[in-house]
Structures are given as C-alpha cells and as structure tokens.
Structure 1
Amino acid sequence: MSTAIHPLRIANYRSYWLARLASTIAQSALAIVLGWQVYSLAREMMDIREAAFLLGMIGLAQFIPLFLLTPIVGVVADTVDRRWIVRGTTTLLMANVLWLGLATWEGWISLPVLFGAAVLVGVARAFAGPAYGALAPNLVPRESLPTAIALGSIAMQVGFIAGPSVGGILFAIGPITAYAGIAAMFGVALAMLLTIGRVPQPPAQKDRRPLARIVDGFAYVKRNRLVQAAITLDLFAVLLAGATALLPIYARDILHVGPTGLGLLAAGMGIGASLTGIFLSFRPMSTDVGRKMLIAVVIFGLAIITFGISRSFALSLAALIVAGSADMVSMYVRGSLIQLHTPDEMRGRVSAVSQLTISASNELGEAESGLLAALLGPVAAVVVGGVGAIAITLLWSRLFPELKQAKTFDPPEAPLSVIPPETQHGVAQP
C-alpha cells in the first residue's frame, strides 16, 4: 500500500491547483467568447467555408508567438522563479480581457482586435506552460508526482467543462458581463499564486551559454526515445483529429443548437477527461502504461470520427465525452513519463518542447481544421482527422517500440545516451 502523501494535503500545491482551476475556467470561457464573436462577425461578411477558415486562423494567431518564443521560455522557466512567471502571465491575461471589455463597451470591437487578443493569449501561454509544468514537481514529493499530475489534469479538465458554460451564460447576459467575469476569475488565479511560498528551484547553469542551454532541451528530447515518442504521438494525433475549432460550425449550422449547445459541446471533452482524471487520482496507473496510451489514442480517433458523422446532439456530445476520457489517459501517461524521466534542472526546457508540440497539436490543429474544412467541408475534415490519428498511432507503435515496452513510469538507470553531455561521467564539460 502506497505511503505517498496526497498532494492536496500540501498547502503550496493546493494554491497551485486552485490557480490552475480558476485560470483554466477563465481561459476556456475566453476561448468560447472569442470563437463565437469571430465566427459571428465573419458570417456577416462571408459564407460558411470562408468563415470556417477564419475561425481556424484564431488558433494560428495563438500558435505563432508560442512557436517563436519556445526557444526562450524553457530557459526562462529554468532560470527565473517559476512562481513569478505564472503570476506575470496571469496578470497579462487579465489585462487582455479588460482590453477586450473596453473595446466592446466603446463599440470598436472588430476582427483585428479579436485576433490581437489571441496573439497576446499565445504570448502568455508560451511563458506560463513551461513554468506551470516545471513548478508542480517542486511542490510535492517524487512519489506523489503521478497523483499530482492527475489532479492538475483534473483542474484543467474541470476548467474545460465549466469554462465554456460560464462563458456562454455570461455572454448571454451581455458581452461586458462576460469579460468582467473572466477578468475576475483571472484575479482569483493570481491571488492563489501569490500565496505559494518559496519552493526549491535548481540553480541556473551559469557555465552554459543561453543558446547551448536551449539546444540541450531539444537534444535531451531527441536522445530519450520514450519521451520523444510520448510527445510526438500527441502532436500528430491531436493535430490531425482536433475538432474543437469547428464546434461553432457544428453548433450553428450542422446540429443547430445555438450558443447554449455550443457551450455543452465545448464542455464534452472536459467532462470525459475530468471523470477519468478523478478515477486516476484515486487509482493511479501502474502497469503497461505505454500500451494503454496507444490504445487510448486509437479510441480518441474513433470517437472523433463518430462525432464527425453524427447528426444527433446527444450522440455528438457522448462521442466528445469518450474522446475526452481517452485524451485524459494519453495526457496522464505522457505527463508522468516526461516529468519522471527528466532531471529537474531541465524540466523547464523539456516542458517548453512539450508545450510547443501540444500547442502545435491544438492551436496549429485549429488552423489545419479550418483550412481542411474550407477545402472539404467541416464533416469531411473531422472524419479524415480521426482516421489520420488512428493511422499515426499504428505507425508510432512500430517506429517507437519503447512506448509499447514501457511497463511503469519509473525510469531505468539512466544510460549515458540520455544524460546531458555536459554532465556525463559526473564532470562538467568546458
């Protein structure tokens, strides 16, 4: 029987968990409001396929700054106090929302304003992601980390459930109400982050030039094939099978359920992921973790195909719940493998690489979905994506046998091939 302390019994982790919950609710609510406003404004000027393409470009607007900043943000997370990074990015997000509220109040809200806000969200997320990811292992004992990762995922998935509904309800009352409420939630997250006391952080590698330290993060991922497999499988599977960008199209023009239905559809994957995360927090996965990740991604692809061809709101919602549950299993395995197989002094940089692939699969996936929907139509775009995710999983199971062979999260004795060159043989290299 495990003797690991439960993460929620640790005050710093509780504050961290509440901050992630409030921030995710706010970000999810903001995403639904941005998506609905962009699509509605676009539909006033263009047809459904052109509007779908523009909707997908919102994801690209968030991805570009993250892509450009990724070489920097990992080093920042391994150098600067991670608490202050997430405090600063939360403040930026809150200011961004207040700016949107002002634009709406004064009547100059427009597509350029909305896209500008999306770029600022991308900048904030670029810095926040590695810092959040690298901070969690500093808050709990090593043996409690898989449970902490599951709980962190629960906070995010509960946010994904509540956020769209909160955003939809507040926006139905009025756009100003929506932006005020979202800003208040970011304020709660900031208050929680300010209560986190000082935590250990590895000293910066002052003997290494910044460029060399940036390269170290990418090189480590390349050398550790298990980490590489877990990161890239998620990248390509969700890049191909991401359907969330097209939810406004399904809600308005295919399922005909309006903003209320859109909020429920947007919450669907979060519902499945949250329920699975709760289960994993009490019954942590411990055997055949790699094989279970592969199976989960196949199920994810099948669920996305089902959503794509469904014309029933109930079936569509159920398919998204199943997809969210499968995605939670994949995220749980991937997060645990990355954190437990990565030295603490490199977690910021490796988390930055992981975040880049996650954002590529999410935000860049939104752009891909929008482009494919403009070319093939939204239904064909979703179905082709689901089939592609399954094909990628089968291919990865052959290219990376290490993933199928991963029985537990515990790393083996580190071979020299996965130890950073500057620390091999226990001697810093000049």
Structure 2
Amino acid sequence: MKTPPSPTGDAAASPSLARSRGFQRFWGARVLSSASFQMLGVAMGWHIYALTHSAFALGLVGLAQFVPMFLLTLVVGHVADRYDRRRIVAVCQAIECVAALTFAIGTFGGWLGAPLIYALAACIGAARAFESPALSSLLPGVVQRAQLPHATALSASANQTAQIVGPALGGLLYGVGAGAAYLTCALSFAAAAALTSAIPLTTKPAARAPVTLESMFSGIAFIRSQPVILGALSLDLFAVLFGGATALLPVFARDILHAGPVALGLLRSASAVGALAGSIWLAHFPLRRRPGLAMFGGVIVFGLATVAFGLSHNFVVSLIALAVLGASDVVSVVVRLSLVQLRTPEEMLGRVSAVSSLFIGTSNQLGEFESGLTAGWWGAQRAVLIGGVATIGVALLWMKLFPGLRDTRSLEREESRETAKAA
C-alpha cells in the first residue's frame, strides 16, 4: 500500500499551486462565475416571489434550469472531450453575461415578468450544462495529477467563497434595486470569461474521438461499471434532492423569520461560510483514510442540520444551522469530485463529468422544484423537515447498498496506488 504523503509534502504542494498562474486564473474565474450565478439566484428568487407570492413558482425557476441540463447531458460531455475546454467555458460565461444583462434591461424598462424570468433561467441552465463539465474536466489540465486532491479542495473553496460573497452581495444590491443586482452579475460573468480565456494548460487536449452511439453513452457506462463512483454520485443526488432548502429561503426569510432581501442574502451565504471553512480544513488535512465513511457521516450531519433549520424561528439559529449544513456538505463534494477526477481516464473525463454534472444539477435545480412542490402541499417548514429526515434515511440505506463506497480506503484506485508505489 502506498504510504500517505507527509505533511511536508502537502506544504510543498500548497506554494506551487499558489504560484501557478493557471490555477490562479482558474480559481478567480470560478469565483466570479459562481458568485454571479449565486447573485442571480437571490435576485430571481426574490423577484419571482414578489411577483407571484407562490412557493411553487420558486420551484419552477429550478425546473426551468434543470430541463435543458437534463436534455443536453450526452451532448455536453462529447463537446467537453472534443474541443478546447477553456473556450467552451468562456463562451458559456459570455452567454450568461448576456442573460444577466437582459435581466437588467428588462428590470430597468419595467417589462421583466414571470414568463421571461423562466425563459432566461432556462437559457442560463443550458449554458451551465455546458460550462460545468468543461470546467470540472479542465482542472486536470491546469495542475499536475499529484496535486489534484489538494487543488480540488481549493477549487471547492473557490465555489464556497462565491456562495458567501454572491448571495450576500446579491441581497444587498437587490435592496438597492433589482437592476443593480442583475447588472453586477453581467459584469462579473464578463470578467470570468476573460480570465478563463487566459488560462494556460499543462497538458494538450486529447485527440478528437469519432462520435458514435456507444461513445455518447460511454460516460454512463463507465459510471455504472464503477460502484464507488455511482454510489457517491447517487448519494449526493438524493441527499440534496430531499434535503435542499435553498429554493424556499425567500419563504423563510419573508414569512417565517420576517426579514428582507438583505437577510435572504445572508441566509444563502451562511451555508457557504460553513462550506468554506470545511474546504479550507480539507485542503490542509485531506481525507486520506476512509473517505467513503467520512462522506456518509457528512450526509447524515447535513440531514440533521436541515431538520434544525426547518424547526427554527430564530434568525441566528437558522444561520448556524445553515453553516453546519454547508460544512457537512463540502465533505461529499470533495470526495465526489476527487473520485471522478482520479478514477476516470483523461480521454473520457468530459463525458463522465457531464453525467456527474447532471447528478449535481438534478439534486440542485430539480431539488428546488421538489422543495417548491412539497412546500405548496404541506407548507415550507414541514417540507424541509421531511426532506431532512429523508436525507438521513438515504445515507443509512446507501451504506448497505454500496459497501464498496463505505469501505473505500483511498480516493485513488488501488491499482493506481500500487503502480505509483512500484515506480
């Protein structure tokens, strides 16, 4: 068995990533793009709820983003494996910039209604469908393979930083005016596109493979052949699908906690504050032993924190519950991303990342629709409580269904570790 890297080795890896111009630009582009998406989420959520006063309408925004992601899954994976991933990401961020600019113009002009919000949400969902797998599969070309677990944790910290800054800034700007929030999103997307275009790669793109029916479904076939990856992806899917309360935050902020858009931004940022703390911890203390068991523990804590949030009528308690939720969620994020990147061949990483993004999109966007639907039936608090309990149940069931994930000793394949040891 390969001896785990020493702390000295980790320390050496950190400065090299910090000095890497490519990783700096990657990190910055991800922060800007993710922050813009989070700002849009706050603005769209508050805007549609102000127009409709309907929790179900909030769910429809998530559904509008999920449908194009689902329909384009097989296409986006092939695109990510056949073309320059930097260009794909930059073009998608430019499209998102145009969509945010349309939001701003429509708000300033007074003609932005619910149907157009749904249409623009679908446009953003389509762009994110291409951007997410291309961005995920871009990282192995930016850093050395040995640095991937560390870089993945730092990349997760970029996403969590964005989820702190984005919602808080989105809520603050929306308090000034919805148009100001949308215009800031457009400028941030434009800056992200510029940074992405300037990322240098350490490896050349793989040769373009011919498109066949078999290759279109090869990402799905690969995941099915890897029970550990399948278990991690499906666990994350169902946990966030049932436990995600993000779509209902406008309802909690306005009707349960009796607060305004600034408070909504803080609520959306709270989980990211916890997640950032968790990702920084994991960057310094990687999950070298029993990462699968750590993932299950994180999901169970995620469910418990969701229940606590659903029971709370106090703003501070709600913030703390969401922070714990975010810190526990980042464990499954890092484990899932590391498993995909370290156990997938480079030439099909785009297709596998596309399927992974579909799982993530399903848990996030479709989870928002599920939350809005159940809240319309039972009320927001009851929907969140049921979702939290269901998340805990899924984690316990998956421990029995996927013993390979539960007993995983390392993020890398066993044969890869033995090869590295022999070398």
TM-score between the two structures when normalised by the length of structure 2: 0.94
Q: Distance in 1 between matches of 2:382 and 2:157?
A: 32
Which of 127, 131, 150 is the equivalent residue of 2:130? 127
1:27-71 C-alpha deviation (Å, 9 max, x unpaired): 10011000000000002xxxxxxx001111100000000000001
What SS does the corresponding residue of 1:311 show, helix, strand or coil?
Answer: coil
**8 Å CA contact 1:81, 1:201 repeated in 2:** no
Q: Distance in 1 between matches of 2:305 and 2:322?
A: 7
Which of 27, 30, 38 is the equivalent residue of 2:48? 38
1:413 aligns with 2:412: no
What SS does the corresponding residue of 2:415 show, helix, strand or coil?
Answer: coil
1:204 Cα deviation from its structure 2 partner:
3.7
In the other structure, the counterpart of 2:18 is 8
1:62 aligns with 2:65: yes
Which amino acid is the alignment partner of residue 235 of structure 1?
Answer: L
Which amino acid is the alignment partner of residue 323 of structure 1?
Answer: L
Which amino acid is the alignment partner of residue 370 of structure 1?
Answer: G
RMSD: 1.2
Which of 284, 288, 295 is the equivalent residue of 1:282? 284
1:225-279 C-alpha deviation (Å, 9 max, x unpaired): 0010010000111101110000000000011111121111110110000011111
Q: Distance in 2 between matches of 1:179 and 1:304?
A: 30
In the other structure, the counterpart of 1:196 is 199
1:173-252 correspondence to structure 2 within 5 Å: 173-206=176-209, 208-252=210-254
Which amino acid is the alignment partner of residue 305 of structure 2?
Answer: A
In the other structure, the counterpart of 1:297 is 299
Which amino acid is the alignment partner of residue 379 of structure 1?
Answer: Q
Q: Distance in 1 between matches of 2:104 and 2:32?
A: 19
In the other structure, the counterpart of 2:104 is 101
Q: Distance in 2 between matches of 1:198 and 1:243?
A: 38
1:170 Cα deviation from its structure 2 partner:
1.3
Q: Distance in 2 between matches of 1:388 and 1:56?
A: 19
Which amino acid is the alignment partner of residue 316 of structure 1?
Answer: S
1:313 Cα deviation from its structure 2 partner:
0.8
1:194 Cα deviation from its structure 2 partner:
2.1
Give the % identical residues: 43
Which of 167, 170, 173 is the equivalent residue of 1:170? 173
In the other structure, the counterpart of 2:369 is 367
1:197 Cα deviation from its structure 2 partner:
2.3
Which amino acid is the alignment partner of residue 66 of structure 2?
Answer: F
1:199 Cα deviation from its structure 2 partner:
4.5
1:133-168 C-alpha deviation (Å, 9 max, x unpaired): 100011111110001101111011110011011111
**8 Å CA contact 2:36, 2:188 repeated in 1:** yes
Which amino acid is the alignment partner of residue 64 of structure 2?
Answer: A
Which of 47, 71, 76 is the equivalent residue of 1:73? 76
**8 Å CA contact 2:143, 2:202 repeated in 1:** no
**8 Å CA contact 1:308, 1:382 repeated in 2:** yes
Which amino acid is the alignment partner of residue 265 of structure 2?
Answer: G
Q: Distance in 2 between matches of 1:395 and 1:96?
A: 41
1:88 Cα deviation from its structure 2 partner:
0.2
1:186 Cα deviation from its structure 2 partner:
1.1
Q: Distance in 2 between matches of 1:220 and 1:78?
A: 15
1:407 Cα deviation from its structure 2 partner:
1.2
In the other structure, the counterpart of 2:38 is 28
In the other structure, the counterpart of 2:327 is 325
Which of 82, 85, 101 is the equivalent residue of 1:82? 85
Q: Distance in 2 between matches of 1:367 and 1:174?
A: 26
Q: Distance in 2 between matches of 1:261 and 1:210?
A: 50
Which amino acid is the alignment partner of residue 267 of structure 2?
Answer: L
Q: Distance in 2 between matches of 1:30 and 1:132?
A: 20
Structure 1's unaligned 5+ residue stretches are 44-50, 415-430
Which amino acid is the alignment partner of residue 188 of structure 1?
Answer: A
Which amino acid is the alignment partner of residue 34 of structure 1?
Answer: M
CA change 1:199–1:91 in 2 (3 A) is farther
In the other structure, the counterpart of 2:419 is none
Alignment: residue pair count: 406
1:413 Cα deviation from its structure 2 partner:
2.0
1:84-120 C-alpha deviation (Å, 9 max, x unpaired): 0000000000000111111112111100111111001
1:209 Cα deviation from its structure 2 partner:
3.2
Q: Distance in 2 between matches of 1:201 and 1:388?
A: 44
1:165-210 C-alpha deviation (Å, 9 max, x unpaired): 111111222222222211111122112112112452443453x433
**8 Å CA contact 2:142, 2:201 repeated in 1:** no
In the other structure, the counterpart of 1:348 is 350
1:325-374 C-alpha deviation (Å, 9 max, x unpaired): 00001111111111111111111011011100110000000000011011
Q: Distance in 2 between matches of 1:263 and 1:321?
A: 13
In the other structure, the counterpart of 1:420 is none
1:262-315 C-alpha deviation (Å, 9 max, x unpaired): 111110110000011111112222111110000000000000000001111111
In the other structure, the counterpart of 2:257 is 255
**8 Å CA contact 1:306, 1:319 repeated in 2:** yes
